[in-house]
Amino acid sequence: MKKFLFIGLIMITTLACQENKKTSTLESDAEKEISTSESKDVIQSEEEQRKKRANREESEANTKKTIANWNGQFIKVDAENNVCECNCIQLNFESPATLCIDQNAGIDIQVKFSKDNDVVNIHYLNGSGNISDKNPIPWADFDKNNIIATITRNGSQLNLDWKGFTIDQKLATDYAILGKKNLEGTYKRK
């Protein structure tokens, strides 16, 4: 009987040790898996940061490149039959340009373009034409070299935002609709 009891205790002890080894091995494997998972997360995080940094640098380089390449002719996206007439802007940073405000009334303005970071400013130089004989446009009274509109890039398109003519640094509200109606909008390269 003592033998059976002794053998039984040895078997229980052996089984308990084996079970303890399994638990220990499982815990060790779980710790290794967590450690491996954490190191993968760190590696992925560092890799993601590198990718984001590279994308940001590429985007900045493309922005600088696209601003440098803004010269050229652009047509309003909603222009009928893709015809310029009074729907185009000729961006040229070297010399003044003419913008058509109203083809039927023969209203045009002379402007110059300047770059300010990722914005193109449009400055008023002079204008010609009238709304009607009874209502002449006071071209000479408008402030020269003031910013009358801005252009920003949205992907491959340009967005023109009309600010308006000014007289003595105040918005000339009677003539604000001129450029807003005909120039403001989205343009694409022609």
Per-residue tokens: 89: 């802007």
Residues 6+ away with beta carbon under 8 Å from 190: 72, 73, 74, 75, 82, 84, 88
**What is the model's pLDDT at position 5?**
64
69-to-58, 147, 188 alpha-carbon distances in Å? 16, 21, 13
**What is the model's pLDDT at position 177?**
83
Integer Cα distance of 78 and 183 in angstroms: 12
Domain boundaries of the chain, sorted by first residue: 1-69, 72-189
Q: Dump pLDDT digits (tens) for 73-118.
A: 999 998 877 788 889 999 999 999 999 999 888 999 999 999 988 8
Q: What is the pLDDT along the chain (190 residues), one digit of tens a residue?
A: 677 666 766 777 776 666 655 555 556 665 666 655 555 566 668 888 887 776 666 655 554 445 557 888 999 998 877 788 889 999 999 999 999 999 888 999 999 999 988 899 999 999 999 988 788 899 999 999 899 999 999 888 999 999 999 999 999 998 888 888 889 999 999 8
Contact in structure between 123 and 145 (CB atoms under 8 Å): yes
**What is the model's pLDDT at position 104?**
87
